Amino acid sequence: MKFFVDTAEIGEIRELADTGLLDGVTTNPTLIAKSGRDFKEVIQEICGVVDGPVSAEVAATDYDNMVREGKILSKIASNVTIKVPMTWDGLKACKYFTGKGIMVNVTLCFSAAQALLAAKAGATFISPFVGRLDDVGQDGLNLIEEICLIYSQYDFDTEVLVASVRNPIHIVESAKMGAHVATLPPSVLKQLVKHPLTDKGLDAFVADWAKTGQVI
C-alpha cells in the first residue's frame, strides 16, 4: 500500500518525506485555507519536495471551468494530479485530462456505483471517504471492500485511494482488502509506528544495556 499524506503544511511534508515512507500528497481547499498561503505556490513547493503524485483540487464545479483551472494546475509540475469532484461535470473533466495523459483523482466518493463510473472515466485514483461514512452511521470500510471487489473483476487501472482516514484500523483493514493507496493526516501516519509492547521492550533493553556499563 502506498502512503500519501493529507496536508498542505510544507514542514510536515518535509519531515515525512525524509523517512522515505511518503509516496504522495493530497490537498484540498480546506487544507490550503488552513495554511493561509497562496494555493499555486503551496502546490509548487510540495511538488519540489515529493516525487510522487500531488493532488491539487479545482475550485470550479462546472466542466468548462474545471478544465480551465486544471490546465493551469497541471502546468505547475509534472507530478500534479488534478482533483475533481464525483459529479457528472467532474467525470467529464476526468475523461478530458486522462485523455491528455494527466493524472486525475476523483474525490468525494461515497458509493461503489460512483467508483465504477470514475474507473470507466479513466480516473487515476478514486477517493472513497471512509471516516465521513462512519460519521453518518454507515460502514466506511465496507465501501472499500465493495470497490476493491468490483475493480478486481475488470481491467481497470484506477487505484483505490482511501481517504478521510481517522485511525490505524482504517489503514490496516483497507490494506487487507487490497486498497492501493491511503491518504493520512500526519498524526495518523505517526500512530502506525506506535505499540505499547514496542515501548515496553525498548525501555527494558535500554535499562539492561545501562547495567552493563558499556559504550558502543
34-65, pLDDT tens digit by residue? 888 899 999 999 999 999 999 999 999 999 99
Integer Cα distance of 17 and 56 in angstroms: 18
> Residues with catalytic annotation?
83
**Architecture category of domain 2-212 in CATH:** Alpha-Beta Barrel (3.20)
182-208, pLDDT tens digit by residue? 999 999 999 999 999 999 999 999 999
86-123, pLDDT tens digit by residue? 999 999 999 999 999 999 999 999 999 999 999 999 99
Domain spans of the chain? 2-212
Report the predicted TM-score, pTM, of the whole model to 2 decimal places: 0.93
122-154, pLDDT tens digit by residue? 999 999 999 999 999 999 999 999 999 999 999
pLDDT the model gives residue 39: 92
- Cell readout for 35 is 495554511
Contact 126, 182 (CB under 8 A): no
